[in-house]
Amino acid sequence: QWMDAMSRQVLQTLMMAIGNTDLYLLATCRTTDNVFREELVQYLYRRQKAEVVTLSPFSKDETSNILRDKLPMFWAKGVTDEIYRRTEGNALVLMDLLDVIERDGEIPAYVPDRTGQVLALQLRDLTEDQIQLLQVISVFMNSADINEIRVLMRKDLMEIYDILESLQKRHMLREEVLGENLTYRFRHKAYQDYIYQNQSLGKRRLWHQMVAEYYESQKGTGSWFEFLPFIIYQYDKCGNTRKAEQY
């Protein structure tokens, strides 16, 4: 999964020279890693030197079964939805989270250390602009469109789109069509949680307040009532409970 082009060539050479008679090699790649699959897996697969096994994230039912088997006391409390929301069926994140719950006796508010270390490795090569854009999107409830992003990121529109595209190519964000708008969300909830938690509380509260005030400025528009749940969320997150309760 972490191979560069030269390492992939070495693996390909080994597989072609030795085959699958005396040596078995196990390699993993993301389903979105087209370069790995096209350059290596298909080449070996056509020559009957490799077998491809596709592994999908656990479904909610599968997550519930794993939780029931590993932590029956917590499963009985009906926390499957929360566990699935936090992990989205990702095997590493799920097992890491369950280990922490088993150790501490409660669902942690933070991303567990092992998951955080993996995510940190994937983020270390990003530019400051890419990190900032991820931080911006992390303060929104689910996703953000370009107008919402520009509330917090004062950059040229085309420059923002270039950064968004670069993060999509790295499989950190995904672009979705929502009505007439394009929205952007994290590919994995763990990314959002990790990015969000690794910002200062003061910065997060300021950004939540700015977003809440932006939503309030939409009064009188046809989409005003659609903003209400998000206004409540943003004011609650910035610590303005009076405003949150008012709405």
Is residue 185 within 8 Å of residue 176, measured between CB atoms? yes
Q: Per residue in 175-187, pLDDT tens?
A: 998 878 899 999 8
CA-to-CA dists, residue 76 to 64, 72, 107, 206, angstroms: 10, 6, 14, 39
Amino acid 31: pLDDT: 64
What confidence tens digit (pLDDT) does each residue in 138-174 have?
Answer: 999 989 999 999 999 989 999 999 999 999 988 899 9
Amino acid (1-letter code) at residue 15: M
Task: Report, as an integer, the average pLDDT of 36-47.
Answer: 68
Find the distance separating the first CA and the last CA of the chain, reported in whole Å: 47
* Contact criterion met (CB below 8 Å) for 41 and 50: yes
pLDDT of residue 106: 86
Q: 157, 150 in Cβ contact below 8 A? A: yes
Of 237 and 31, the one with more pLDDT: 237
pLDDT for residue 32:
61
| Phi, psi for residue 126 in degrees, rounded to 5 | -80, 155
Name the residue with tokens 């190519």.
169
In Å, how far are 130, 135, 205 from 191, measured between CA atoms?
Answer: 13, 10, 19
Average pLDDT, the chain: 86
> What pTM, to 2 d.p., does this model score?
0.77
